[in-house]
Structure 1
């Protein structure tokens, strides 16, 4: 579903994913999908993970492709913040 893209600029990781929830205040849930080879059989499989990201201004909507960047922990589960909205 989402385009997998990983960049490292210094020590902060960047991920590109699709927003799947905006129901919390100033928080979005981003689904990141990565394609990796299976450890034993070497077939390419999809792995997806949900990240909780801080969205201060409420810019992102469900279905948007967004870029998030790693940051210091904001709460128990939230250690990413919205970098930019790539497409609606």
Structure 2
């Protein structure tokens, strides 16, 4: 099964080797028929601490690295 790849913006880089990435998705509301924006934060593994707040990054699923990290940052 292929690994999912998402695109988002780094919102925090304070933790060592971890970047918090906010991923936004848009969809049409089934009843109101208007576009709705929802965002979700993912904690991703960043081994070299190279990504800073505001960077656009892509993240990919991986095996669990810690209690909350299930994603890794891949180069754009």
**Which structure features the higher share of strand residues?**
1
Segments of 4+ moved more than 2 angstroms: none
CA RMSD, Structure 1 to Structure 2 (Å):
1.0
Match of 2:37 in 1: 46
1:79 aligns with 2:70: yes
Structure 2: state its 5+ residue gaps: none
Give the TM-score of the pair, scaled to structure 2.
0.93
How much does 1:76 deviate? Answer: 1.4
The higher relative CO (CA closer than 8 Å, separation ≥ 6) is in: 2
Structure 1: state its 5+ residue gaps: 1-9
Q: Where does 1:5-84 land on structure 2 (aligned, <5 Å)?
A: 10-84=1-75
Match of 1:6 in 2: none
Give the TM-score of the pair, scaled to structure 1.
0.81
How much does 1:44 deviate? Answer: 1.0
How much does 1:59 deviate? Answer: 1.1
Counterparts of 1:19 and 1:36, CA distance in 2: 22
